[in-house]
Chains A and B, each alone.
Chain A
Amino acid sequence: MTTITKSIAAAKAAALAAPLVLLAGATGAQELKIGLSAELSSLDPHYHNLTPNNMLARHIYEPLVGQDEKQALKPLLAESWKAIDDTTWEFKLRKNVKFHDGTPFTADDVIATMQRAPNVPKSPSSFSAYVRGKEFTKVDDFTVRVKTATPAPLVPTDLSTFGIIPAKCKDTTTEDFNLGKCTTGGTGAYKQAEYVAGDRVVLTPNESYWGGKEPWSKVTFRMITSAPTRVAALLAGDLDVIENVPTSDVARLKGDAKLSVASTVSNRVIYFHMDHFREVSPFIKGKDGSEIKNPLRNLKVRQALSMAINRPGIVDRIMEKEAIPAGQLLPDGFFGTSKKLKPVAFDLNGAKKLLAEAGYPNGFKMKLHGPINRYLNDTKIIEAVAQMFSRLGIETEVETLPAANFFTRASQGGQGNVPEFSFILVGWGAGTGESSDSLKALLATFDPAKGMGATNRGRYSNPTFDAKVDEALRTVDDAKRDAALAEAMDISMNDVGLIPTHYQLNTWASRKGVKVQARTDEYTLATGIRKD
Chain B
Amino acid sequence: MLAFILRRLAQALFVIAAMLVIVFFGVNVVGDPIYMLISPEMDQQQIAETARQLGLDRPIWEQFLVFLKNAVQGDLGRSFVHGESAIKLILSRMPATLELAFVALFMAIVIGLPLGLYAGLKPESRLSRFIMAVSILGFSLPTFWVGLMLILTFAVGLGWLPATGRGPTVSIFGLETSLLTLKGWQHVALPALNLALLKISLVIRLARAGAREAALMDYVKFARAKGLSQSRIIGVHILKNIMIPIVTVLGLEFGSLVAFSVVTETIFAWPGMGRLLLEAITRLDRPVIVAYVMVVVVLFVAINLLVDMVYSALDPRVRLTEATS
Mark interface residues in B21-50 (1 if CB within 8 Å of A CB, else 0). 000000000111101111111111111111
- Which listed residue, B50, B80, B165, B282, touches A238 by the CB 8 Å rule? B165
Q: Is B267 an interface residue (CB 8 A)?
A: yes
Stretch at the interface among B62-70, B175-183, B293-301: B175-183
Given A125-B38, A224-B269, A451-B43: A237 and B275 interface contact (C-beta under 8 Å): no
Query: Could you tell me if B163 and A408 are in contact, using CB atoms closer than 8 angstroms?
Result: no
Stretch at the interface among B102-110, B147-155, B203-211, B245-253: B147-155
Query: Could you tell me if B93 and A198 are in contact, using CB atoms closer than 8 angstroms?
Result: yes
B42 to chain A, nearest CB (A): 6
Mark interface residues in B105-128 (1 if CB within 8 Å of A CB, else 0). 000000000000000000000000
B11 neighbours in A (Cβ, 8 Å): none
Query: Could you tell me if A122 and B54 are in contact, using CB atoms closer than 8 angstroms?
Result: yes
Q: Is A310 an interface residue (CB 8 A)?
A: no
CB-nearest residue of chain B to A49: B39
A441 neighbours in B (Cβ, 8 Å): 40-41, 43
A224 to B166 CA separation, bound complex (whole angstroms): 12
Query: Could you tell me if B93 and A50 are in contact, using CB atoms closer than 8 angstroms?
Result: no
Query: Could you tell me if B31 and A454 are in contact, using CB atoms closer than 8 angstroms?
Result: no
B53 neighbours in A (Cβ, 8 Å): 121-123
Query: Could you tell me if A412 and B83 are in contact, using CB atoms closer than 8 angstroms?
Result: no
- Which listed residue, B54, B92, B180, B279, touches A225 by the CB 8 Å rule? B279
Q: Is A459 an interface residue (CB 8 A)?
A: no
B109 to chain A, nearest CB (A): 23
Q: Is A407 an interface residue (CB 8 A)?
A: yes
B162 to chain A, nearest CB (A): 5
Given A3-B170, A14-B183, A428-B40: A41 and B268 interface contact (C-beta under 8 Å): no
CB-nearest residue of chain A to B169: A196
A41 to B280 CA separation, bound complex (whole angstroms): 11
- Which listed residue, A233, A238, A454, touches B44 by the CB 8 Å rule? A454
Query: Could you tell me if A126 and B165 are in contact, using CB atoms closer than 8 angstroms?
Result: no
Query: Could you tell me if B83 and A47 are in contact, using CB atoms closer than 8 angstroms?
Result: yes
A367 to chain B, nearest CB (A): 19
A132 to chain B, nearest CB (A): 8
B281 neighbours in A (Cβ, 8 Å): 404
Stretch at the interface among A4-12, A97-105, A291-299, A314-322: A4-12
Query: Could you tell me if B30 and A405 are in contact, using CB atoms closer than 8 angstroms?
Result: yes
- Which listed residue, A126, A174, A404, touches B46 by the CB 8 Å rule? A126
Query: Could you tell me if B31 and A129 are in contact, using CB atoms closer than 8 angstroms?
Result: no
- Which listed residue, A48, A233, A406, touches B81 by the CB 8 Å rule? A48
Query: Could you tell me if B156 and A10 are in contact, using CB atoms closer than 8 angstroms?
Result: no
Given A11-B182, A226-B267, A412-B32: A233 and B46 interface contact (C-beta under 8 Å): no
A219 to chain B, nearest CB (A): 16
B284 neighbours in A (Cβ, 8 Å): 404
A514 to chain B, nearest CB (A): 18
A344 to B209 CA separation, bound complex (whole angstroms): 68
Query: Could you tell me if A199 and B165 are in contact, using CB atoms closer than 8 angstroms?
Result: yes
Q: Is A455 an interface residue (CB 8 A)?
A: yes
User: Which A433-453 residues have a C-beta within 8 angstroms of B?
Assistant: 437, 441, 448, 451-452
A233 to B191 CA separation, bound complex (whole angstroms): 14
Given A14-B182, A404-B30: A222 and B43 interface contact (C-beta under 8 Å): no
Query: Could you tell me if A452 and B43 are in contact, using CB atoms closer than 8 angstroms?
Result: yes
Mark interface residues in A383-407 (1 if CB within 8 Å of B CB, else 0). 0000000000000000000111111
Mark interface residues in A218-253 (1 if CB within 8 Å of B CB, else 0). 000011111011001101111000000000000000
Interface size class of B (residues with CB under 8 A): 35 or more
Size of A's binding interface in residues, CB under 8 A: 64
Query: Could you tell me if B84 and A235 are in contact, using CB atoms closer than 8 angstroms?
Result: no
CB-nearest residue of chain B to A234: B163
A451 to B43 CA separation, bound complex (whole angstroms): 5
Query: Could you tell me if B31 and A404 are in contact, using CB atoms closer than 8 angstroms?
Result: yes
A14 neighbours in B (Cβ, 8 Å): 181-183
B241 neighbours in A (Cβ, 8 Å): none
CB-nearest residue of chain A to B79: A41
B35 neighbours in A (Cβ, 8 Å): 404, 407-408, 411
Interface centre among B42, B48, B80 (most CB of A within 10 A): B42
B179 to chain A, nearest CB (A): 10
A232 neighbours in B (Cβ, 8 Å): 148, 151-152, 155-156, 163-164
A361 to B35 CA separation, bound complex (whole angstroms): 39
A251 to B39 CA separation, bound complex (whole angstroms): 32
A122 neighbours in B (Cβ, 8 Å): 53-54, 78, 83
Given A123-B53, A228-B148: A15 and B182 interface contact (C-beta under 8 Å): yes
A480 to B49 CA separation, bound complex (whole angstroms): 34
Mark interface residues in B53-65 (1 if CB within 8 Å of A CB, else 0). 1100000000000
A412 to B32 CA separation, bound complex (whole angstroms): 9
A49 to B46 CA separation, bound complex (whole angstroms): 12
A3 to B180 CA separation, bound complex (whole angstroms): 10
Query: Could you tell me if A408 and B32 are in contact, using CB atoms closer than 8 angstroms?
Result: yes
Query: Could you tell me if A448 and B31 are in contact, using CB atoms closer than 8 angstroms?
Result: no
A403 neighbours in B (Cβ, 8 Å): 36, 282
B1 to chain A, nearest CB (A): 34
B46 to chain A, nearest CB (A): 5
User: Which A121-148 residues have a C-beta within 8 angstroms of B?
Assistant: 121-126, 128-129
A51 to chain B, nearest CB (A): 9
B33 to chain A, nearest CB (A): 7
A235 neighbours in B (Cβ, 8 Å): 156, 163
19 pairs of residues in contact across A and B, judged by CB atoms under 8 Å: A7-B180, A41-B81, A42-B83, A49-B42, A123-B50, A124-B83, A125-B37, A125-B50, A197-B82, A198-B275, A225-B279, A226-B267, A235-B163, A236-B162, A236-B163, A408-B32, A411-B32, A454-B43, A455-B40
Using a CB–CB cutoff of 8 Å, the interface residues on chain B facing chain A are 30-33, 35-50, 53-54, 78, 80-84, 89, 92-93, 148, 151-152, 155-156, 159, 162-166, 170-172, 180-183, 266-269, 271, 275-276, 278-279, 281-284
5 tightest A-B CB contacts, nearest first:
A451-B43, A199-B271, A408-B31, A448-B44, A124-B37
Extra contacts besides A8-B180, A122-B83, A129-B41 (5): CB < 8 Å? A11-B183, A122-B78, A232-B163, A236-B162, A404-B36
